[in-house]
Amino acid sequence: MAGSDPLDDLEAWAAEARAREAAESRVRERWLRTQAEEGASFAATLAGLVERGEPVTVMTAAGRPVAGRLTAVGADFVGLRLPGGRRTLIALGAVAWVQAAPGARPAPDAGLGDREEDEDAAPGASLIDVLAQAAASRPRVMIQTGAAAVGGDLRAVGLDMLSVETAGTPPSLAYVPVGAVYEISFFASG
């Protein structure tokens, strides 16, 4: 080929190779992402969100959105820290979906062991175990059971129920079956 510069051919070949490699890299990345998503479990995905400290919205089956940072994934619940520091536990059976906030960035202290108030942080703990531990300090709580709610001081946790002392004159006890609990928020000690 008279008049053809071998360097031009070499540059064209190198450009094609770079473009082909970039395309193959994108295909590999997409395949790996798809494999990770297909092999993921809900609990493992939530644990990853806890580890990253990203803000999320948890939509309950009752249609209530709860926004905050996931702090724990237990055997049958997730724990969140809401803006202002309030702690909320949501039964996994009451979770409709979880969505990471668009453009979310991890908390500055994510992964640094900031668990001073997170009794719900024990891996594998059940909701009733965490509530039984919390009942010793008699915290003020608000319990959502689908569309109904009851608030007061958490007095005791039985095998399958919670006793809550409600405000009033005189105060009275409300009994809540644990299986009906969608969400429980902690406010302060009673």
Per the structure, the count of domains in the chain is 2
Asked whether residue 112 is domain-assigned, the answer is no
Do both 53 and 125 map to the same domain? yes
Do both 13 and 94 map to the same domain? no
Residue 179: the pLDDT is: 92
In the predicted model, what is the mean pLDDT of the chain? 83
Asked whether residue 153 is domain-assigned, the answer is yes
Do both 161 and 180 map to the same domain? yes
Residue 169: the pLDDT is: 81
Separation of alpha carbons 157 and 155, rounded Å: 7
Would you say the pTM of this structure is higher than 0.85?
no
Beta-bridge mates of residue 65: 59
H/E element, 84? none
Q: What are the CA-CA distances from residue 96 to residues 26, 93, 105, 180 (Å)?
A: 32, 8, 23, 15
Do both 71 and 128 map to the same domain? yes
Asked whether residue 82 is domain-assigned, the answer is yes
- Tens of pLDDT, residues 96-150: 999 998 876 655 554 444 433 454 456 689 999 999 999 999 999 999 998 899 9
Which residue range is the domain that position 25 belongs to? 1-39
Q: What is the dihedral of CA 139, 144, 145, 147, to 10 degrees?
A: 160
DSSP designation for 112: S
Do both 58 and 3 map to the same domain? no
pLDDT band at 189 (very low <50, low <70, confident <90, very high): low
